[in-house]
Structure formats: structure tokens, C-alpha cells
């Protein structure tokens, strides 16, 4: 029986050199293509960065156009407004489930805003509480959340302890 033919024919050195040169050429072409793509991506990113820097610089106000302190001060509620805020809180609370509300007034030094602190505890549905708090903060920009504790109850509701601070103009 004749011996089987080898599965491949040995190549000559010349063929190996030609194949190696072809492989090197293909690698160089792929590398050049990647370099071109990288350079284009870098240029696009650089242009976007310059655009964002220009927008940020345009958005900044020069120091001489900053609003005067009097304008900022005038936007704070007066010392007479807390009653209205307390009524608004109670009237719009989710399901009127405010269990307790305590108020503490902190006087501030001359021409500094005074603060009225509220500690509110309530039992509510989470989404209703979230909507109520969002509306309250939207209607009164000088109101700040200082602390909040939420605890889920077995009835799929939340017990909330909320500490709010209302910054106001001190009485002259």
C-alpha cells in the first residue's frame, strides 16, 4: 500500500518571506487605519471640549455683574411669612397625616438671615410624601431640607421625620 500524501506541501523560503511581508503590510495598514481613526476621534473630542469650555466661560458672570446682596436679601421671605408656610404645610400634607409639627426660631446677627426650624413627623404613602415635599420646596425656595429619616411600616407606608429650615429676613 502506498503511503498517504502529507496533508500539506512544504513551502519554500521564498513563499514564507512573501507571506511574512504580506502579513507585515496588512498589519501596518490596519495600524495606520487605527491611528487615523484615533486622531479623528481625538480631534472631535478636542473640539467638543473647546465648545464646552466656551459655553462655560460665557455662562459665568463677570464679578461686576454679580447681583447685589440687597437683591438676594429681598428674595428671602419676611419674618411674617412662616404662618402662611405652616398653614400650607398642614393643608397640603399627603392625606393630612402630619402627626406633629414643632417650630424653633433662631435669631441671626445683624443683616444675616434668621432661620425658622421645623420638625415634621408624618405617616404617608411614599410617592404622596415625595410629591408633597417637592411642591413645598418648589413653592418656597428659601426652605431647605436639613435632615430626613424614612422608615417603612408593615402597611407599606413610610414614617417620616423631616427637619426643614426656612431662611428669612430678620425684622429691621
Query: Which is more confidently placed, 139 or 94?
Result: 139
Output DSSP code: residue 77. P
Whole-angstrom distance, CA of residue 159 vs CA of residue 139: 24
What are the respective helix, strand and coil percentages of the chain, to the nearest 5? 50, 25, 25
Note the pLDDT tens digit of each residue in 140-158: 888 889 999 999 988 888 8
How much is the mean pLDDT over the chain? Answer: 77
Note the pLDDT tens digit of each residue in 39-85: 778 888 888 888 888 888 777 755 555 555 556 666 777 766 677 77
Do 81 and 113 meet the contact criterion of CB atoms below 8 Å apart?
A: no
The pTM is what? 0.50
Q: Look-up: residue for cell 496588512?
A: 26
Report how far apart, in Å, the C-alpha atoms of 99 and of each of 54, 93, 95, 109 are: 52, 11, 11, 33
Amino acid at each position: 500500500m502506498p503511503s498517504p500524501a502529507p496533508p500539506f506541501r512544504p513551502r519554500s523560503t521564498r513563499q514564507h518571506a512573501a507571506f511574512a511581508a504580506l502579513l507585515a503590510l496588512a498589519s501596518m495598514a490596519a495600524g495606520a487605519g487605527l491611528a487615523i481613526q484615533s486622531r479623528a476621534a481625538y480631534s472631535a473630542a478636542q473640539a467638543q471640549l473647546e465648545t464646552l469650555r466656551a459655553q462655560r466661560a460665557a455662562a459665568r458672570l463677570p464679578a461686576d455683574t454679580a447681583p447685589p446682596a440687597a437683591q438676594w436679601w429681598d428674595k428671602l421671605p419676611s419674618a411674617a411669612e412662616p404662618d402662611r408656610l405652616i398653614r400650607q404645610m398642614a393643608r397640603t400634607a399627603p392625606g393630612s397625616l402630619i402627626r406633629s409639627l414643632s417650630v424653633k426660631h433662631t435669631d441671626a446677627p445683624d443683616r444675616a438671615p434668621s432661620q425658622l426650624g421645623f420638625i415634621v413627623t408624618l405617616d404617608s404613602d411614599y410617592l404622596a410624601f415625595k410629591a408633597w415635599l417637592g411642591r413645598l420646596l418648589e413653592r418656597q425656595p428659601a426652605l431647605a431640607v436639613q435632615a430626613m429619616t424614612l422608615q417603612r411600616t408593615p402597611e407599606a407606608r413610610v414614617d417620616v421625620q423631616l427637619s426643614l429650615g426656612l431662611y428669612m429676613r430678620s425684622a429691621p
